[in-house]
Structure 1
């Protein structure tokens, strides 16, 4: 915990002020392009969700200054904060956006953020509001927000998540604020006031996991980060050291920072490079993916048909079982947090993508029947191994009496130790946008994202994913 005075707000502000394109490591740029392409697909897929359509309709009704494109509404434009709310929610609507990595064995996975969507969303809408922002300028702002967001998340005590806060909603606000502030050129007191407002705006609690409000946390983080930066540019004030001290963000919401980590500083090593970021193969919580891959391996290796399954017992620790909390999923949002639904999906469909995560699919007889054959158990032996890795074991019994066992690979596909290839990231984009963008448009977006730092106008990123919904 923090036992000595810290100056995290000042460090964050100086980093945002000083970072330039030439400061970005080559690997950070390469990973950043992958993260941006991944998010482009998620924005398009999310804009087709009923929850996001409601936000689009709400933004249309509110109207206002035409700052930035409203995702899923063709070429319609709305004020930057509103555009950020909708775009950010779309980016997290499927819970398919990338995840921060940590090597701290005490760092519960849920504490880590979905780091790309808040700062990228803020950068995209702010760039459109300003105009004439280059792709390099957008990349710098995105990387600044990504780094600030991840370091705050890494340094905070895990109690933040244990208390019930949703880090992507809370800490994501700082990432969005940093990105917007960088593009607006805030410095000195203005920048510190923007971070102070972000500290008060940050919100999101875990009781809303499995509902429409969970992705709205990320939309609000993007919206609030942009709002904080815009208000600070007008001269609105806040505490200039709001991350620090007895009443600061970290102390109030997490019990403080970890002293031993504070010497890392911002940007000395970029988090996007080390320990890295994972691009998710499935639209569900990242701590379910190893088990989903294990289930898929078990049924494909042994050629087990759904009608052959008598029962499945899933053994895991509380690090999986506590947040993945729905025993039986009754809609696609609950399915993202239901081990029974996720394992059933791999048995019934042998895949888990946008088309499998629909209410119709989850409520189908085959999925409901399979879920009810799955039992989830807390395993004391696995629990005793600790939470540094995600561990689980699946035992499947067939009607003819066979018992098949599969342990999950402790590495996870998409993470730094088993990353998706560039082609796999592009294929994920195509899967996300299948039926929403034609093949030519898909090719255009992939090429634009991969050449983002060569763009004369970063607004092209937003224009190339414009759809009418």
Structure 2
């Protein structure tokens, strides 16, 4: 590994300088083979959910907004060849599209007191940034593209681990806030900013990192990730032109950790950037369902309970999900009226599984949510706090389901903490590709989608990273 960023005997005083030293020095050869493979899986997944997101109403609104800004065309938008945007706007579009379905991957926490699954969605902000910035100048090699992406994910994940969990628990949306640092680090690496300028780019990100959970269930939530992608690019481009920011803005009394998180524990990550890479350890969760990872074990449990007992929707009298507040508080809607609310509504998520046996692109539509069958089934599903599950730890996403049938029978099942898609039970490469194909169905022909997949698996061999967007946008 490159000695330029490996800390030997002493640790740096500031998280800002440690993150900047890593991001400015890391090279392709420093990325272990397993981390590289996971990074490619994340790019496949991230690009797939971006393309799926372009069909959502929020992107139609964004397209109308972006066509009024009059920016000099410099970068293409993923999945919309007609839009010609600035690099910052392209990053905004990509980030919005990547999170609008809430189908993008999730960082896994290391610390037992960190709210499991509630750190960041790590891939989309740095991926949005490098896709946009690769459009500028004479082109970026595939190796620099994926190295910059990995650098952004690493910085984002380590900062998310360091900040006090109150940052999320009190209402900040980390993918919008901490995602900005991932986008800035990836952008700085792609632009080849030196260590001091990279630290300043992180300083600029600190002044732009925002997003509150009050907007969950609206277009505001994915907008947070669009802005985190855009703001990281903006900060790095400003610094490249000579704009100045504080180069220790993560640290100290008025630094981001203190202001936005009641402090933190930077010592947990100091000297550990790239040692190991967070993509490999503790890893990331690639979502089988387009909703918060906290809901996935319960959805899988509902599906298994229905199958194991031969139940049909007509059999269901009532469903009760027992869980701790780490699940119940974020999943905030009693019943859903829109697909955006449905992502934060256990009654809808379980109803989708009950009614169709799945919860994918076809089910996350306003039409399905508002159908009489779905509205009726949601009324039959309720949630309850379970102190025994709570006592097992806030870092566990556990639940149990109790089903009462119309014939009077009761069935119960406990969720498995080796949830599907997580590092302990990951989707196979084939399943990741199948998810990509589901995402792009009706958007890319199968032959074109296969070419895109092959390009990502061999991204380090691409002389110009723009080839990827060429093949995505046709």
User: TM-score of the superposition, structure 2-length normalised?
Assistant: 0.96
Kept after mapping to 2: 8 A contact 1:190/1:235: no
Deviations 1:248-272 (A, max 9, x none): 0001111222155134521121000
- 2: CA distance, partners of 1:298 / 1:23: 45
Q: State the partner residue of 1:298.
A: 305
- 2: CA distance, partners of 1:259 / 1:169: 20
Deviation at 1:459, TM superposition (A): 1.1
Q: State the partner residue of 1:12.
A: 19
Deviation at 1:375, TM superposition (A): 1.3
Deviates more, 1:317-326 or 1:130-139: 130-139
Does residue 57 in structure 1 map to residue 69 in structure 2? Answer: no
The partner residue of 1:268 within 256, 268, 275 is 275
Deviates more, 1:250-259 or 1:78-87: 250-259
Partner of 1:74, secondary structure, is strand
- 2: CA distance, partners of 1:116 / 1:193: 22
Partner of 2:134, secondary structure, is helix
Does residue 100 in structure 1 map to residue 111 in structure 2? Answer: no
The partner residue of 2:150 within 143, 146, 153 is 143
Deviations 1:241-299 (A, max 9, x none): 10000000001111222155134521121000100111000000001000000000011
Q: State the partner residue of 1:66.
A: 73
Does residue 377 in structure 1 map to residue 392 in structure 2? Answer: no
Q: State the partner residue of 2:457.
A: 450
The partner residue of 2:286 within 279, 283, 287 is 279
Q: State the partner residue of 1:357.
A: 364
Deviation at 1:111, TM superposition (A): 3.6
Partner of 1:393, secondary structure, is strand
Deviates more, 1:339-348 or 1:438-447: 438-447
Deviation at 1:131, TM superposition (A): 3.2
Does residue 204 in structure 1 map to residue 230 in structure 2? Answer: no
- Where does structure 2 lack aligned partners over 5 or more consecutive residues? 1-10
Q: CA RMSD in A?
A: 1.4
- 2: CA distance, partners of 1:117 / 1:172: 8
Deviations 1:414-465 (A, max 9, x none): 1110000000000000111111111111111111111111111111222222
Deviation at 1:388, TM superposition (A): 2.3
The partner residue of 2:254 within 235, 247, 252 is 247
Partner of 2:154, secondary structure, is helix
Deviates more, 1:142-151 or 1:380-389: 380-389
- 2: CA distance, partners of 1:341 / 1:177: 36
- 2: CA distance, partners of 1:66 / 1:302: 57
- 1: CA distance, partners of 2:211 / 2:266: 25
Kept after mapping to 2: 8 A contact 1:95/1:283: yes
Name the structure, 1 or 2, with higher relative contact order (CA <8 Å, separation 6+).
1
Kept after mapping to 2: 8 A contact 1:56/1:72: no
- 2: CA distance, partners of 1:395 / 1:109: 24
